[in-house]
Amino acid sequence: MTLEHESPASTDPFAGQPHAIVERDGVRYTLLGTAHVSKASVDAVRAAIDSGNYDTVAVELDQQRLQAMTDPDALARLDLVKVLREGKAALFAANLGLAAYQRRLAEQLGIEPGAELKAAAQEAQARGLSLTLIDRDVGLTFKRALASLGFWKRAKVGAGIFAGLFVDEEVGEEDIEKLKQGDLMEASFSEFADETPELYEAIISERDRYMAAKLRETPAGAREVLAVVGAGHLQGLTRHLRDETAAPAGIVASLEALPEKSSVPWFTIALAVFVLGGFAWGFWRGGVDVGTDLVLYWVLWTGGLGALGCAIAGGHPLSILGAFVASPVTPLHPALASGTISALIEAWVRKPTYADFMALRDDVQTLKGWWRNRVARVLLNFFLTSLGTAIGVWTGGARMLGKLFG
């Protein structure tokens, strides 16, 4: 049997903070809705835990975000080469964009966004209470959000995130109001989520259902659970916690899985057929001269623009050479992505120092800082080399078509 109620205002122990109580399967869940930029929310969280009424505290965080909040040296221990090899450079940049947004908020409002979540985790640990992190890994949320979009929408969101890394302007009143209603990720992506239902689904709706399932997986023995979540999740989380009948493990697994991609890389195959077929056609119909010209067109346009992108990023000469060599091959074999190769060379030749990692969040606030900081410059290398290669593919392909049919 499920029971839900809200405390009367006259006996409200949470100082006016929105909340709900759901009783299910012998466990009483007190859901405390907070504003991620409110000192009152921090006070309410501490007062609730100080009351001694709870044996378990659940927090709207994942392990990565908790570590970033509580361990200032975590970034310095990052293996940048591993990030590049695993193809996570874009995800790392997105996390930097989110961190830059949070920093602007902290400077503008005088409080660290998510301070009440950090306080809940620290207070629970200090009192020896069971601590449960119920939010989905932020990387999975990014990936599922982007996987639900078409190419152009993904490009728009990616460009917006990348642009956000360079912008140092005040956060608008509308976004601040959304934060007061309670979700940092929704506010961070508000410009896109309002226009893209798929993005809203992954960032808000899916996480409501995911967190409700994680709450139902609360460790055995828990009887009184305080769940600290953004107020924007309170209604959806309450509904799922009250009404969901599917097994929580199955829900969690389904919402952590990435949409399956086609096992056949059709675009890569088509591009390879076009390029290699064009070379073959040129040698067969036009002889060595025409065939050689086509190969040169392709190599010079793709390699030249890929190397130019790397050079603009301030790449080392070896990184530029790597970009030039890899770019013509990248469209034919994605595992040899020019951006990844040039960035790996850059990280190897100009290995980022501890100081670079520690200064990263400050340096990415300014345009000059991106070229000064070695970590940021590796990311620039990756993005600008990839962009140059992509432009080179279309330009070189167009020149090949002109040569074949001109």
Cβ atoms of 85 and 159 closer than 8 Å? no
| pLDDT tens readout for residues 72-105 | 777 777 788 888 888 788 778 777 777 766 676 6
Cα separation, 26 vs 55, whole angstroms: 14
- pLDDT tens, 276-324? 888 788 788 777 877 888 888 888 999 999 999 999 999 999 999 999 9
- CA dist 277 and 192 (Å) reads 40
pLDDT in tens, 7-21: 444 455 676 788 899
Please name the residues in contact with 76: beta carbons below 8 A apart, sequence gap of 6 or more: 354, 357, 358
Q: What is the pLDDT of residue 9?
A: 42
Q: Which of 279, 277, 259, 261 is nearest to 269 (CA)?
A: 277
Do residues 70 and 121 lie in contact, with contact meaning Cβ atoms separated by under 8 Å?
A: yes
Cα 371 to Cα 315: distance, rounded to the nearest angstrom? 9
**What would the pLDDT profile of 341-387 be if each residue is shown by its tens digit?**
999 999 999 999 888 888 887 788 778 888 999 999 999 999 899 99
What confidence tier does 205 reach under pLDDT thresholds 50, 70, 90?
confident
Residues 62-70, mean pLDDT to the nearest whole number: 85
Among the listed residues 35, 1, 34, 37, the one whose alpha carbon sits nearest the alpha carbon of residue 20 = 34
Residue pair 60/229 in contact by the 8 Å Cβ criterion? yes
Higher pLDDT among residues 356 and 166, named by residue:
356
Determine if residue 366 is left, alpha or beta; phi over 0 gives left, psi from -120 to 50 gives alpha, anything else beta: beta
What is the Cα–Cα distance from 145 to 147, expressed in whole angstroms?
A: 6
Instruction: Write down the mean pLDDT value for the chain.
Output: 81
Name the amino acid, one letter, at 214: K
Residue range 211-260, pLDDT digits in tens: 999 999 988 788 999 999 988 888 889 999 999 999 999 999 999 988 76
